Amino acid sequence: MKRLLIVTTVPISLALLLKGQPRWLSRTYEVELITGDGPELDQVREQEGVPLHVVPFARAVTPATDLGVLRQLVATCGRFRPHLVQTYTPKAGLLGMAAARFARIPVRVHGIVGMPLMEAGGAKRALLTATELATYTNATHLTANSHGLRTWVRAHLAEHPIRVIGHGSINGIDTAWFAPQGPAARSAWRRAHRIPEDAFVFVYVGRLVKDKGVAELLHAFTRVHDTVARAILVVVGTRDPTDALSPADDAELHAHPAIRAIGFQADVREALGASDVFVLPSYREGMPNSLLEAGAMALPAIATAIPGCEEVVIAGETGLLVPPKDESALADAMRSLATDAGRTASLAAASRPSIVARYEQGSFWRAVGAYYDEILAGTPA
């Protein structure tokens, strides 16, 4: 049986973004996992059922700690002798690919799932660029979780061959789990959050940061609510101090009478099921899982016309696309759906079939397995 080592910087990537994939792969591979410390470790152990090793990954540049982690990764490669090492996220990619190359692992795959340097500048951009290029140099294969991200990387970083598995994504979407809920659940959730039954509900799910366009969303919604009094905005997510909202926007988030900021939700299905339109005004994405989840639950989406979002949302068929950082265009799109029930219903009807046809999780996992089989077949046994 071939041996597969999967490395991520933090365990939440395994708990949420890759949920179930290591366990499925363990049917045909001997799988082990490496990640940093975090509260999701026990969850990962239980849900994946494969050996899990913890190393002190740090997202910041910490030379002494990073060198220690590199040594641990090399030692694990030497003990486990994987045929293939798969890394995700920047720090895991940088150190994991370097360790795998040093240990002479024949197949080294880095998964590009996002690109923070798209919005970075100055010294930070230079550092992130150097990190990406070093990772690509040590990898034998690269994947991207969207066609748009692959195009951007090849245009701005390096013209390496990059594969998009299936239609994109990192893990597909569990369309049995993310499925439309009945009217009773919708009504109960609305009552619990003081939302009238006849309200038109927009919902956002994600980190409360500038890069996600949350400020533009708040400003656009305020304009919409001035003319559509029954509009409500539900905001699911927590603050991130590394890219914090302004004090004024943070205050608006919690003070506006038509905004429900409900914080982090381990299960977002109830909030999605009680809403009418999903909104993601992000500046950058790889392949946004939140759009896949919302679409699988038959929610039309308003998203920015950026890589990743442009692939999930079929403009005019399953949702609307607007320019990033344009709160006027965002407000117009939100207002148009809040005041046109027929159009919104048409977009909603097309949303779930579109996601099921392209991103269903079982199909994606089979495509991942086929990709691994393909690239391993080109290496010595």
Q: Please identify which residue in the block is written with the tokens 């956002």.
A: 204
Residue 381: inside a domain: no
Tokens read off for 149: 């991200």
| CA 367 to each of CA 17, 112, 163, 203, 359: distance values in angstroms, whole numbers, following the listed order | 17, 17, 12, 31, 11
Residue 40: inside a domain: yes
Residue 232: inside a domain: yes
Residue 315: inside a domain: yes
- Residue 379: the pLDDT is 65
Same domain, 259 and 372: no
Same domain, 126 and 229: no
Same domain, 217 and 330: yes
- Residue 381: the pLDDT is 45
- Residue 64: the pLDDT is 82
pTM metric for this prediction: 0.91
Same domain, 269 and 188: yes
CB neighbour list of residue 319: distance below 8 Å, 6 or more residues apart: 278, 295, 300, 301, 302, 303, 313, 347, 351
Same domain, 222 and 142: no
Along the 381 residues of the chain, how does pLDDT read in single tens digits? Answer: 899 999 999 999 999 999 999 999 999 999 999 999 999 999 999 999 999 999 999 877 778 889 999 999 999 999 999 999 999 999 999 999 999 999 999 999 999 997 777 777 788 888 888 889 999 999 999 999 999 999 999 998 888 899 999 999 999 999 999 999 889 999 999 999 999 999 999 999 999 999 999 999 999 999 999 999 999 999 999 987 877 888 888 888 888 999 999 999 989 999 999 999 999 999 988 899 999 999 999 999 999 999 999 999 999 999 999 999 999 999 999 999 999 999 999 999 999 999 999 999 999 999 999 999 999 998 654
Same domain, 211 and 106: no
Rounded Cα distance, 2 and 80, in Å? 11
- To the nearest 5 percent, what fractions of the chain are helix, strand and coil? 50, 15, 35
Residue 208: inside a domain: yes
Rounded Cα distance, 88 and 151, in Å? 19
Same domain, 102 and 129: yes
Domain CATH number, residue 309? 3.40.50.2000
Same domain, 155 and 236: no
Same domain, 193 and 142: no
Residue 178: inside a domain: no
Same domain, 188 and 333: yes
What domain range is 128 assigned to? 3-172+361-376
- Residue 288: the pLDDT is 92
Same domain, 150 and 198: no
Residue 177: inside a domain: no
Total domain count, the chain: 2
Residue 345: inside a domain: yes
Rounded Cα distance, 229 and 215, in Å? 20
CA-nearest of 337, 347, 301, 304 to 228 is 337
Same domain, 117 and 249: no
Tokens read off for 376: 């391993």
